[in-house]
Structure 1
Amino acid sequence: MPLLTRAGRRRTVAAAAVAALVAGLPAAPAVAAAPVDTALEWYDVTAAAVATSTRPQVTNNRAWAIGWLAAARALRATPAGADRDYRDAALASAVHTALSALLPESAASLDAALAGTLGRIPAGRAKDRGVSAGRTEARSLLGRRADDGLDPASVNPTYPAPAAEPGVWQPTPPTFTPAQQAGTRFARPFLLDRADRYRPGPPPALTSARYRADLAEVRAYGAADSTVRTPAQTDTATFWLGSSLTIYTGILRAALARSTRPIAERVTLVALFHVALVDTQIATSDTKYAYLRWRPVTAIRAGDDPTWTPLHTTPAHPDYPSGHNTYAGAAEGVLTALVGPRARQPYTVTSPSQPGVTRTYTDWRGPTRENGDARVWSGIHTRTADEVGVRLGRDVAAHTVRNAYRLFG
């Protein structure tokens, strides 16, 4: 064994003394775990349940709206003296009750999530009252929204193709699928008094300069073999091809996660967001089927380019207005009104149509701008359809925020 130097012996003695001193001290207190954010917890539970659904987008938005509006009502009616135990129990019970009825295939995962939330809430009157309030509000709202025309069969009824005429929508290649979402316009909105309340004027005439410019832009930038679309524009088109509900679930989650407001206000944000999106899709269907404007691929092939093909497959419903952009406009409108025009911190989102790719934003308008460009660069919408769609979505969002009090009357 090597001999220690005098300095080494001193360090060894000192270390032993410190060890002895520490051994005699009481154990350091354990660091308390951060409390669970129940709003964010049930946001993720809802997102996971909806993600497994094969129902139309508007039907899934309806599930979000009913569950979170029921929770918002239960929290608005918080009894005097109630604490966090009441609020957490009410939120979880409301969303669980609504989603179990609307998405019964997710019952097992919903039951497990509810057991987890209620299991960490101490037994007592606050917990019991919260559970009762959440269930009561959900059952009441489910009853009121029964037969509202947002079930899959009502949203997508049989819709015969109209007679082929210039400017009139026809099924599009390559599948020539019959028109979709034609029945959404007959559904019962949450807050709009009628589907055509904010219906925009007609699309540009086929003889107008605006129409010719719109079509020329799509023809050049939206073709599958475009020589002018840049790789960055192709990436934008591909990223925003994904489901609006899926992509905006990430955007709304960022707003919810960064909010420091009371839980009742955060739950109301989620509820109003989806109420606005349901009403927006009803208004979108109304406008699409009122004007029946043909898609760019039909227009271009009817001209002098019968083999023209868009970058991405055209959805099976009319061009005017763009549904992706009404969705974007409404989402932006609600977030701007209730959170402010900018995010508290930059946020990053993903897209199901471009796996592994993320995009980062600092406000709510950035996604709207990209949505408009993307549909042109995909070759599936005209610029006018995109711009009018954004305005329609913003109009419905403003109506939702302005009339939100009616949901809590």
Structure 2
Amino acid sequence: AMWRLLALAAIAQIVHGSCPSGYDLVKDGECRGFAGKQNVYFSDAPRIAMETCDRVKGAPVIIHNEEHQTYWMNRAPPTDQGFMILGIVCNENTLKYEWADGSPIDYRPKNYNEELNKVCSKEYGWEIHPDGYWSYGGPGSAISGLFFCTTQLEQPLPGGDGCAGFADDEDDGVCYQVGPAARDWKDAQLTCKKAGANLASIHNTKENDFVRRLAVSNGAVDGLVLGASAQQDGKFAWVDGTAMDFENYYPGFPKKNFGDCIAMDVSSTSGQWMNVDCASKFPVACMRQQGPTVEPTCSGDDYDEGDLIVSPGYPFSASTPCDFFLTVEPGKKVQVEILSLEANECCDSLVLYDGYLGGNVIATLTGIAENKTITTNSSNIMRVSW
């Protein structure tokens, strides 16, 4: 039996992505990673480091504590293979060295070049050795510079109106968001789930008009995927389970053999609907209920095959631990598909067990993981611990 698991410790809103490719998600939405290698002069290294990191809206290597120091020294190359450039720059007003983001150098390792304490020079560039030593080089010193960056993902914080970054139509207690095109209808629903929502259901003309205007304002002018699809009896139903109590089809729609999913034509002011192929690639309309922020809890719910499971507090908080117990008939094995995991490598992990009490660990996952399938070795029970 297959379950689909979404366990996010960081970012889940449509408009915000994951860490840049190759970067580690370390903690609290902070991404760190390698940005490039370039032959430079030491005197140019600080400027090039800042320009390089600006491309990912980040900052060069900045060290304020022992955790920062340990992380970066463990990634510094041997000096015969290049130099990891530190984001240390000269403040020509104070004549003191500071970090590239303007923060003071409030941490120093056990071993560093004493030049750091002297009147600064903009002609010097600083680097860190694998043993943690901070050193510098001056003008005319050509090196192979390795540039690493830190960038901060934007957290989806709950808003005062209960919509938390979604658009509020200020009338019926629901919030909407329009996201980029998905691969197909199922992927569109997954996109909404990542934002703590469902594909949008529409129940009156005002909602329909609001969603159409929101789509246009977000540049979605060709079409918009809605949350209705055809069921086994051929009738359309909303994915969120609400009643199909409003319809806005073009005359003659839905048409036979046109498709089993519903999209809105946003090019017309009336925002009429058509049934389309579920593999059509249109932007996505998501909707969730408006509501105050509540403290997340581990529900202990039972799950059926095919259910989508998310961590407590998703997508705003990942601080609540939780165990999920997934079972199938005796003699069968449990299989879980990890659709999306974003866990702080410093302190969060997803542990999967073969069995439950005293079961062997099958996998321990942290950082960023997508589309992984994990199966029990012998047990018909899998314990998933967040």
> TM-score under structure 2 normalisation?
0.21
The TM-score with structure 1 as length reference comes to 0.20
* Higher strand fraction (1 or 2): 2
- Greater relative contact order (Cα < 8 A, sep 6+): 2
